[in-house]
Amino acid sequence: MGTDARTGSRERGDSPPADGSREGTTRRDMLRTAAALAGAGGLGMLGGSGIASAAARASIAAAPKRGGTLRAGVTSGSSADTLDPHTWLTNADGTRVYQLFDSLLAFDKNAQPQLSLAQEVTPNKNATAWTIRLRKGITFHNGKPVTADDVIYTFQRVLNPKKPLLGAANMAPLNIAAAKKLDALTVRIPCHTPFAAFAELQACYQYFIVPVGFNPKKPIGTGPFKAQSFTPGQQSTFVRNPNYWQRGLPYVDTLVISDYADETSQINGLISGQLDVIDSLSADSIAAVTNGGGKIVVSEGGSYTPFTMRLDQSPFNDIRVRQALRLVVDRKQMIKLVFGNYGQIGNDLFGLYDSAYDHALPQRTQDIEQAKSLLKKAGHEKLNLTLVTADIAAGSIKAAEVFAQQASAAGVTVTLQQVPVSTIYGPNYLKWTFAQDTWTYYPYLPNAQEALIPGGVFNECHVNDPAYNKLFKQLAATTDPKARTELTHECQTREYNGNASGYIVPYFQPEIDATSSHVHGLTPSKTSNPFGGFDLASIWLS
Amino acid sequence: MALRRASPLERHPLARLVLGRLVVGIGTLLVVSILIFYATEVLPGNAAYAILGHNASAQEVHVLEVELHLNRSTIAQYGSWLGNMLRGNPGMSLAASLPVWTVVKARLINSAVLALVSGLIGTLIAVGLGVVAAARKDGKLDNTLSATALAVTALPEFVVAIALVMLFATIVFRILPGISVLPPGTYAWQRPTLLVLPVASLAIIIVPYIFRMTRAAMIEALESDWVEMARLKGVPPLRVLARHALPNALAPIIQVVALTFLYLAGGIVIVENTFAYPGIGQGLVNAVTTRDIPVIQFIVLALAAFYIVVNILADVAVLLVTPRRRFPR
């Protein structure tokens, strides 16, 4: 992380969307793109300079226009909407917060953490202290320069012991009280325990830099837009930040984000010309949008909706039962039924786009015979299960129905208990024996820290595997990329073999957004956050 | 000894009726408010869980519960709410941390505008058509109108609304806005085009009921002896219709119009939802999702009060158009 990774893919504007597009056609698309490039290169040779002509073509294809008002329609909002970048929750909140604030690092379109406000984020040898150096010349919306004090204040605010905010649990190893300002732009923060995940966590949605004395009612950040008005549950209006540090961005002058109750009204608004971009559609709505003249942008990202089995409760305390249930899933059929032509199959692992993800583990496929024999050995030839499901993510209930259907082939009777979202996430959350949950994309280490370690804030499967815990402790203290990859593979093998995981991860769900035909610059993001990773700054109107 | 004079209430049955109904109404409101409190209590989770979502730790939830006074008993919470309400203070929204009135005001006004405008337009059209159909009983026009009305009563609100959107906003023509999102701080009448489709949907839904009742009542009146008499006297047909038949058909029509307005108070929720219209329907859904009890209380009580007021107004109106019932027998 030490080098100045440049300002993210945003500046490139209309870059080819190949990176985040759907798995099913990736290979073919790549071949086609390669052929096209070869062709273009060949033509360019004839003309004299291949590179120059390709660049010229690109600039003609994507000459973003400045100005106009972008109207975004989002679901998932409510009167609990907030502009506080450290307590935001829903996609509606994220869509707003990401326009007003920046963090030290941010995910690029390939879900890789890249330096953003920071010019340098470096650990000491065993990751017990981090040095953060800010980019020069960045100012908040009120003109105040961003300094080391603001970084310290941000973490103090998140970690406030009296009122810890959402990101506090993941930053627990940080010893913010001992933070030391080295100069106006540099700060050194020691850690209570080795904390190798610190840098990549900065991109994880909760650590936006706010000025000292931040007041969420007057949300001042460094982001591409400034807040002008905000009515929770209804609408917000933001205006262009003319001093934004990423040159040229944003393209539109005004941004209006409105809350919608459902996707029917979102789509009606888009087609009747009252909205320019909408988010989080179901696969069933694609035809309605394209027939109405709209464009679809699908992000094939790392968000997943696992079935969660509690390792400390019968029958899932038997590893054979867990592995058997993983084997009953026909993953290809499941995504076909739930998402049509979109979605990617999972291998019961998370952290899909982490560079350390173990792609060498064989893809698990349906094997009813083996599932049956495992269940027989475990003494559960006839197994009755109750699966708690709710509309927590696109396709979640449908996936549960498909699972119940597929499991019956192995003699497992799955009864679905469909509850409201507020119930599945109510007081019983993290206590269900067999349920579903949904995770946004995280790199491996932060996700594992929350999900698989005793005391992890979302250890819903009650995983406690001594061998895994030991590996994880090592991983958390390792900064060398090669060593980290090896340790990650070892960790993931224990998950894959069922020792240290109660997850069935059958798929990674697609994020389906739509725009009207005059909207450009919306490209897919592998974080699977809406609007290409909440990237409204790159959108322009023709 | 002077004769005991009848008290004012005894002399004015109208005033007595209104007063009696008001007392009962206030009692009803009180009962409703207790029911809402306990109903929200039965739902799993509370505002703190709802606001913080599933990403919150137990400590965060606890901090917010204390902040919102949710750690007190239900009775204590209800007591302080009622005390504030009696002093004219509906309290603070838990989710938005703004006064309830600030959160709800624009929504109440927008919904009232939508309900009133569609109620009035629907009533005028329905009564007009009903009178015409009754006058041409069993004619071609009457048969067509009656059959259409019957068919429309079978359609749920959202079907009518979506059909109108498809026809005028998205698929066939694109001449009207398909959604009615008002910028915060503006009221419906400032953007009349946004009202067209929601009003049309609601009007189409309510017209059949009023039409059928008007037609039936008018037919009954037209077949009565006094209309027969008027006709024999040679009163012109239009005058028979307007002066002799209609006033006598008004009582049942008023009843059904009142029922229609009561229906509108609930029925607009679905239409508001389809058009993303910022009214109380959307507000109530929002409030329930976030377990925002003070806002739920206020909206439901406003609806209950509306029911009570409309009922009283209907009774008064019926009394006024039927003189014989104005005096005690």
Q: Calculate mean pLDDT across residues B301-310.
A: 89
Query: Which member of A163, A235, A265 has the closest CB to residue B179?
Result: A265
Minimal-distance CA residue of chain B relative to A81: B96
Closest CA to B222 of B192, B244, B194, B202: B244
Of B241 and A255, more confident: A255
Task: Find the distance separating the first CA and the last CA of chain A, reported in whole Å.
Answer: 38
Closest CA to B207 of B143, B281, B141, B118: B118
pLDDT at position A302 over 90: yes
Q: Do B178 and A163 touch (CB under 8 A)?
A: no
pLDDT at position B90 over 50: yes
d(CA A153, CA A156): 5
Closest CA to A492 of A515, A457, A465: A465
Give the list of residues 6+ apart from residue A256 with CB closer than 8 angstroms, or none: A69, A70, A71, A72, A235, A236, A237, A238, B183
Instruction: Identify the CATH number of the domain defined by range B100-326.
Output: 1.10.3720.10
- At B326 the pLDDT is 64
Of B87 and A44, more confident: B87
- Chain A hits for B96, CB-CB cut-off 8 Å, are 79-80, 232-233
Q: Do A269 and B179 touch (CB under 8 A)?
A: yes
Long-range contacts: A213-221, Cβ < 8 Å, 24+? A213/A153, A214/A153, A214/A154, A214/A157, A216/A82, A216/A83, A216/A84, A216/A87, A219/A83, A219/A84, A219/A85, A219/A100, A219/A101, A220/A140, A220/A141, A220/A142, A221/A85, A221/A100, A221/A101, A221/A102, A221/A140, A221/A141
Q: Calculate mean pLDDT across residues A310-327.
A: 96
Query: A274 in contact with B at a CB cutoff of 8 Å?
Result: yes
- Chain A hits for B286, CB-CB cut-off 8 Å, are 78-79, 233
Alpha-carbon dihedral sign for residues B226, B232, B233, B235: positive
Give the list of residues 6+ apart from residue B317 with CB closer than 8 angstroms, or none: B254, B258
Q: Is A498 left (phi over 0), alpha (psi -120 to 50) or beta?
A: left
Q: Do A80 and B51 touch (CB under 8 A)?
A: yes
d(CA A499, CA A491): 10
Crossing angle of the two packed helices A444-451 and A481-496, in degrees rounded to 10: 40
- At A414 the pLDDT is 96
- Chain B hits for A172, CB-CB cut-off 8 Å, are none
Query: B172 in contact with A at a CB cutoff of 8 Å?
Result: no
Q: Calculate mean pLDDT across residues A322-337.
A: 96
Q: Kindly indicate the confidence band of residue A8, based on its pLDDT and cuts at 50, 70 and 90.
A: very low
Specify whether the CB–CB gap between A84 and A208 falls below 8 A: no
Report domain extents, chain B. Answer: 100-326
d(CA B283, CA B295): 8
- Chain A hits for B53, CB-CB cut-off 8 Å, are 89-90, 425
Could you tell me where the beta strands, DSSP code E, fall in A68-128?
69-74, 105-107, 113-115, 118-123
- At A53 the pLDDT is 41
Query: B180 in contact with A at a CB cutoff of 8 Å?
Result: no
- At B36 the pLDDT is 84
A347-377 pLDDT tens trace: 999 999 999 999 999 999 999 999 999 999 9
Chain A segment 117-176 residues within 8 A of B by beta carbon are 162-166, 168-169
Query: A183 in contact with B at a CB cutoff of 8 Å?
Result: no
- At A47 the pLDDT is 34
Specify whether the CB–CB gap between B90 and B297 falls below 8 A: yes
- At A327 the pLDDT is 97
Query: Which member of A231, A268, A422 has the closest CB to residue B169?
Result: A268
Q: Do A169 and B183 touch (CB under 8 A)?
A: no
How many CB atoms neighbour CB A413 within 10 A? 12
- At B188 the pLDDT is 86
- At A49 the pLDDT is 36
Weakest mean pLDDT among A54-58, A242-246, A324-328, B221-225: A54-58
- Chain A hits for B277, CB-CB cut-off 8 Å, are none
d(CA A27, CA A23): 8
- Chain A hits for B181, CB-CB cut-off 8 Å, are 235, 258, 260, 269, 274
pLDDT at position B71 over 80: no
Q: What is the 3-state secondary structure (H, E, C) of A403-444?
A: HHHHHHCCCEEEEEEECCHHHHCCCCCCCCCEEECCECCCCH
Chain A segment 404-463 residues within 8 A of B by beta carbon are 422-423, 425-429, 437, 457
Q: Do A422 and B179 touch (CB under 8 A)?
A: no
Cα angle vertex A475, ends A470, A477, to 5°? Answer: 105
d(CA A516, CA A230): 24
- At B248 the pLDDT is 87
CA distances from A94 to A45, A163, A529 (A): 46, 21, 9
Query: Which member of A163, A233, A422 has the closest CB to residue B63?
Result: A163
Q: Do A79 and B283 touch (CB under 8 A)?
A: yes
pLDDT at position B38 over 90: no
Q: Calculate mean pLDDT across residues B101-106.
A: 88
ipTM value greater than 0.95:
no
Query: Three-class SS of residue A101?
Result: coil
Specify whether the CB–CB gap between B307 and B265 falls below 8 A: yes
The owner of tokens 């988010």 is A279
Chain B segment 63-92 residues within 8 A of A by beta carbon are 63
pLDDT at position A413 over 90: yes
Q: Kindly indicate the confidence band of residue B7, based on its pLDDT and cuts at 50, 70 and 90.
A: low
- At A44 the pLDDT is 31
d(CA B212, CA B127): 9
The owner of tokens 């393209």 is A251
Weakest mean pLDDT among A61-70, A448-457, A486-495, B212-221: A61-70
Weakest mean pLDDT among A51-65, A255-269, A422-436: A51-65
Q: DSSP code of A139?
A: B
For residue B242, give both structure tokens. 């307007």
- Chain B hits for A292, CB-CB cut-off 8 Å, are 170-171
pLDDT at position B10 over 70: no
Residues of chain A above pLDDT 70, percent: 89
Weakest mean pLDDT among A38-42, A284-288, B33-37, B83-87: A38-42
Q: Kindly indicate the confidence band of residue B215, based on its pLDDT and cuts at 50, 70 and 90.
A: very high
Closest CA to A301 of A343, A340, A339: A343
Instruction: Give chain A's largest Cα–Cα span.
Output: 74
CA distances from A148 to A126, A129, A174, B13 (A): 23, 16, 16, 78
- At B2 the pLDDT is 53
Q: Kindly indicate the confidence band of residue B266, based on its pLDDT and cuts at 50, 70 and 90.
A: confident
Cα angle vertex B53, ends B52, B59, to 5°? Answer: 50
Of A218 and B69, more confident: A218
Query: Three-class SS of residue B42?
Result: helix
- At B6 the pLDDT is 61
Give the list of residues 6+ apart from residue B116 with CB closer than 8 angstroms, or none: none
d(CA A378, CA B95): 48
> How far apart are the CA of A423 and the nearest CA of chain B, in angstroms?
6
Minimal-distance CA residue of chain A relative to B168: A272
Weakest mean pLDDT among A14-23, A199-208, B108-117: A14-23
Q: Kindly indicate the confidence band of residue A426, based on its pLDDT and cuts at 50, 70 and 90.
A: confident
> How far apart are the CA of B262 and the nearest CA of chain A, in angstroms?
24
Query: Three-class SS of residue A298?
Result: strand
Closest CA to A69 of A333, A253, A328: A253
pLDDT at position B1 over 90: no
Q: Identify from B40, B179, B201 which residue to disrupt to test chain A contact, counting A C-beta atoms within 10 A and taking the largest count.
A: B179
Q: Do A261 and B282 touch (CB under 8 A)?
A: yes
Weakest mean pLDDT among A104-108, A264-268, A360-364: A264-268
The owner of tokens 């990403």 is B55
Per the prediction, chain B carries an average pLDDT of 86
Specify whether the CB–CB gap between A277 and A73 falls below 8 A: yes
Per the prediction, chain A carries an average pLDDT of 88
Chain B segment 183-222 residues within 8 A of A by beta carbon are 183-185
Size of interface A-B (CB pairs under 8 A): 128
- At B11 the pLDDT is 66
Give the bridge partners for A540, in sequence order. Answer: A520
- At B44 the pLDDT is 66
pLDDT at position A33 over 70: no
- Classify burial at A309, counting beta carbons within 10 Å of its beta carbon; exposed 0-12, middle 13-18, buried 19 or more: buried
Of A124 and B49, more confident: A124
Q: Identify from B170, B172, B299 which residue to disrupt to test chain A contact, counting A C-beta atoms within 10 A and taking the largest count.
A: B170
- At B243 the pLDDT is 87
Buried b (16+ CB within 10 A) or exposed e, A131-155: bbbbbeebebbeeeebbbebbbbbb
Query: A225 in contact with B at a CB cutoff of 8 Å?
Result: no
- Chain A hits for B59, CB-CB cut-off 8 Å, are 164
Of B80 and B11, more confident: B80
Q: Is A111 left (phi over 0), alpha (psi -120 to 50) or beta?
A: left
Weakest mean pLDDT among A71-75, A538-542, B295-299: B295-299
Minimal-distance CA residue of chain A relative to B43: A423
Query: Which member of A237, A426, A457 has the closest CB to residue B45?
Result: A426
Q: Calculate mean pLDDT across residues A504-518.
A: 96
